[in-house]
Homo-oligomer: A and B are copies of this chain.
Amino acid sequence: MLNFNYYNPTRIIFGKDTISETGAHSARYGKKVLLHFGGGSIMKNGVYDQVMSSLSKAGLEVVALGGVVPNPRLSLVREGIAVCKRENIDLILAVGGGSVIDSAKAIAFGALLPDTQDVWDDYYMQADYEIREALPLGVVLTIPAAGSESSTGSVVTNEAKGLKRAVNSETIIPRFAIMDPQTNYTLPAYQTACGASDILAHLMERYFTVVKHNDLSDRLLESAMRNVVANAPWALRQPSEYRWRAELMWTGTIAHNNLLDKGRIGDWASHDIEHELSAAYDIAHGAGLAIVFPAWMKYVYKTDIDRFVQYATRVWDVSLPLDDKESVVMAGIERLEAFYRALGLPVRLTDAGLGAGNLDKMAKQALIVYPSLGNFQKLGADDIEKILRLAQ
């Protein structure tokens, strides 16, 4: 177990009809709120009205900025930063899923940057940066997936350059997150499935480490993975059943609030490779992960086959004899692929209708900021291209 420093002050307000508390929690941070959201879904399902009503009851002034799209765009981030500066915003309230929250995080720290600094060039495109301050950020979560509601991270896409990049900082951890699983009842099945895939990926990426002796976090991660595997299919079968939605929503937070990987270093290569896929093809992040992850596993498992044996036996209940570790590992990967397929997700590039044309270009582009990806096994451009070919 490595030394670590853990801090996560997000207040989670979880459960039925909690959106009515939005105003009271927001009012602790000032008078003027930037309400940041995506498209029309929160208009249709009533969440927008519930939020506005609660903010209004708390006497808050609201400036609305909608239009966030999946793989949230730098151009809207820049617009939000300008609005915050012009309107003297006190608090940003992100209403939506990971894309909305990530966009809001970029605005939150971008709004306090001096004019000599640029949110993209000086932060997202740097390997070495330190975000010193940010406007306070609150969340009303409507899609369980990214875990951004209590994480340090923000991923933004520069649509002009076709680049998708991440920053991390304690300063952009949301101050509060209001999570009502009932808001998920109207999510399309495919979006529910993509969310489950993203949650599972966050857990797997933390799980595959070369750091030894992390027994507790191994077990907690395995538990959370088994929870996704058990509950996601039921959320698809019974989309308006509270308990499945509640399990996925809470697991999505736990999977990414950085508690479950203390003492270890995860491997985020699959996420990074997927970012290239979704930047190039604009496919859903969770679908891209279902394509990349099994291929990544097949490429790297020999680095520590015992870790993959533990994964196959403890997460997927593979019970083949341990004197044939390869078969145990492959059976685990097969069960992962079967799980993705059962959720209606693609597991090959061809399943998603994607060709093989850009694989070498994507592989090179993944390495613009860092010289290699991953920690479980360091990957160069050649490795990444091979993984993408395994995903065909």
Query: A residues bordering B, Cβ < 8 Å?
Result: 1-16, 18, 213, 215-216, 219-220, 222-224, 226-227, 230-231, 242-243, 246-247, 250-251, 254, 259, 262-263
CB contacts (< 8 Å) of A1 on chain B: these are 15, 242-243, 246-247, 250
- The distance in angstroms between the C-alpha atoms of A16 and B4, with both chains bound, is 10
Q: Is A224 within 8 A of B231, CB to CB? A: no
In the complex, chain B residues whose CB is within 8 Å of the CB of A16: 3
Question: Whole-angstrom distance between the alpha carbons of A9 and B247 in the complex?
Answer: 23
Question: In the complex, what distance in Å separates the CA atom of A289 from the CA atom of B76?
Answer: 57
Cβ–Cβ < 8 Å partners of A4 in chain B? 12, 14-15
Q: Which residue of B lies closest to A177 (CB)?
A: B6
Kindly list chain B residues whose C-beta atoms are within 8 Å of the C-beta of A5.
11-14
Once bound together, how far apart are the Cα atoms of A300 and B227, in whole Å?
Answer: 28
A247 CB, nearest partner CB in chain B, Å: 5
Q: Provide 9 A-B residue pairs closer than 8 Å at the C-beta atoms, listed in order of the A residue.
A: A1-B250, A4-B14, A5-B13, A6-B12, A213-B243, A216-B247, A219-B223, A219-B227, A220-B224
Candidates B215, B220, B226, B262; contact of A14 at CB < 8 Å: B262
CA distance A262 to B242 in the complex (A): 16
Known interface pairs A7-B12, A262-B14; A226-B219 also in contact (CB < 8 Å): yes
Among residues of B, the one whose C-beta sits closest to the C-beta of A1 is B246
Please name the residue on chain B nearest to A254 by beta carbon: B216
Which of B18, B220, B246 contacts A220 (CB under 8 A)? B220
How far, in angstroms, from A41 to B46 measured CA to CA in the complex?
A: 60
Would you call B2 and A6 a contact (CB within 8 A)? Answer: no
Pick from B9, B15, B215, B262: contact of A2, CB under 8 Å: B15
CA distance A10 to B259 in the complex (A): 12
